[in-house]
Amino acid sequence: MEIHEADAPTRERVARSILELGPSTAAVLAERLDLTPAAVRRHLDHLIAEGAVEAREPRVYGTRGRGRPAKVFALTDRGRGVFYQAYDQLAVDALKFLADSAGPAAVEAFARKRVAELADRFRERMDAVPAEERPALLAKLLTEDGYAAGLRETGKAPAAGEQLCQHHCPVAHVAEQFPQLCEAETEAFADLLGTHVQRLATIAHGDGVCTTFIPMTATASGSSKSTEVSGGNAL
């Protein structure tokens, strides 16, 4: 985010508000930051031009009302990267302190609690579909949460199954030093899918994609479909 003007601090406040509270409309940002709608839109225009923010159609749950819903503004990977560099180091320092003062078990407990919160948000929708549909639904939910996840069939019986591929991981730099984050995520996937899964690769360890193998027992037998769900910014 290349901000050189006098109003740079305000523009950073706009970007930081989106980072911390998620995609927001210009009206919501104006109210939240006590700015005029015109001022917010001016800052958003600059952030969009810099590639730090993008406008999106809002997700609509239930029946859509009359009229076109206002666009929401979300940070791009470039925009998030500016903040994550500082947050990554803060997170690493905090976990190091936790490990030194309370031991490795405390780090594991933190990792499990963090992932459990994500799993709890997914659980109701996951439990509502048959087991063979859950891998595709998990990929979809992860993508909606910013993980850019996809699903592809792999292997032949008796090792047939599907691979859940996450193309983005917002905590990859932290997980390089604290693999407990990846381990907790894998356990949460197994719990949501109702079957043992195996982590094959992680971005944190230098792989291009976080890949988790889901055995055929949890997928549709005889299915030959491949689902790719694109979009979004990982645990």
Topology, domain 8-75: Arc Repressor Mutant, subunit A (1.10.10)
Q: What is the reported pLDDT for 173? A: 81
pLDDT of residue 157 exceeding 70, the answer is no
What confidence tens digit (pLDDT) does each residue in 178-210 have?
Answer: 999 999 999 999 999 999 999 999 988 888 789
Residue 223 has pLDDT above 70, yes or no: no
CA dihedral 153, 156, 160, 164 (to 10 degrees): -30
The reply to whether the predicted model has a pTM over 0.85 is no
What pLDDT is stored for residue 23 in this prediction? 83
User: Which of 168, 190, 172 minimizes the C-alpha distance to 181?
Assistant: 172
Query: What tokens does 138 get?
Result: 């998990």
Q: Between β-strands 149-154 and 72-75, what pairing exists: parallel, antiparallel or unpaired?
A: unpaired
Q: Is residue 58 scored above 80 in pLDDT?
A: no
All CATH 1.10.10.10 domain ranges of the chain, comma separated, are 8-75
CA-to-CA dists, residue 141 to 3, 73, 95, 136, 189, angstroms = 34, 20, 27, 9, 12
User: SS3 for 35?
Assistant: coil
Fold that domain 81-228 belongs to in CATH: Muramoyl-pentapeptide Carboxypeptidase; domain 2 (3.30.1380)
Q: Which regions of the chain carry the CATH code 3.30.1380? A: 81-228
Query: Tokens 């390089």 sit at which residue?
Result: 176
pLDDT surpassing 50 at residue 227: no
d(CA 154, CA 215): 9
Answer yes or no: is pLDDT of 222 > 70.
Answer: no
H/E element, 154: strand 149-154
The pLDDT score that the predictor gives to residue 36 is: 95
- Residues 22-54: pLDDT tens digits? 788 999 999 999 999 999 999 999 999 999 999
Contact 182, 200 (CB under 8 A): no
Confidence of residue 65 (pLDDT cuts 50, 70, 90): low
Residue range 65-69: average pLDDT? 61
Q: Which tens digits make up the pLDDT trace of 120-130? A: 999 999 999 99
Of residues 15 and 157, more confidently modeled: 15
**Dist. CA 234–CA 60, nearest whole Å:** 23
